[in-house]
Amino acid sequence: MESVREQLQIFTRRFGLLNASCCDECCGEQVSMAQSYILFEVRRSESPSMQQVAEELGMDVTTFSRQAKGLEARGLVSRRVSADDRRVMFLGLTDDGRKVLEKIDGYMAARLEEVFGRMSSFERETVVRSLGLLNEALIEASQGTANQKGTIACCK
């Protein structure tokens, strides 16, 4: 299994998932990786609660709240109080938030095309199918444990 871990570590490092912030060539906004993930999840979940996004990303609520406030201060997300429970806050993307996310999406699509362009269509399909299988297995392996769903790392 050490070779699997090694390959995952190398992939993460080469893909740039550990970069502290998004670079100017990406969106020109200096959006941190955590903030990029938050924007993505807010769009994906369509007006999720702050708790829901924090749980999905495996972030503690205090850290998440600080990140969300930063995004709100920059005009990238909006927060609204639930009509049913005033303790619950829902997040939404602002027009500026959608624009930043579109820039990030475009940058990532181009980078992925550059990578996948070096593979045959069969290899691309195999990688995509394998990533889906890996994600499903991560969820199954973490069920019934204290870990965030779908994670296997010993630290968050």
Contact 55, 148 (CB under 8 A): yes
Tokens of 124: 């691309």
Tokens of 49: 């609660």
pLDDT in tens, 62-113: 899 999 999 999 999 999 998 999 989 999 999 999 999 999 888 888 888 9
The reported pLDDT for the residue numbered 97 is: 95
Cα 125 from Cα 7, distance rounded (Å): 19
Spans of all domains in the chain = 16-118, 119-156
pLDDT in tens, 8-48: 888 877 777 546 555 556 667 778 888 888 999 999 998 89
pLDDT > 70? residue 60: yes
- The CATH class of the 16-118 domain is mainly alpha
- 32 three-class SS: strand
Cα 34 from Cα 79, distance rounded (Å): 18
Cα 72 from Cα 80, distance rounded (Å): 11
pLDDT in tens, 123-141: 999 999 999 999 899 888 8
CA distance readout (Å), 112 to 16, 105, 126: 12, 10, 15
CA 62 to chain centre: 18
Cα 99 from Cα 118, distance rounded (Å): 29
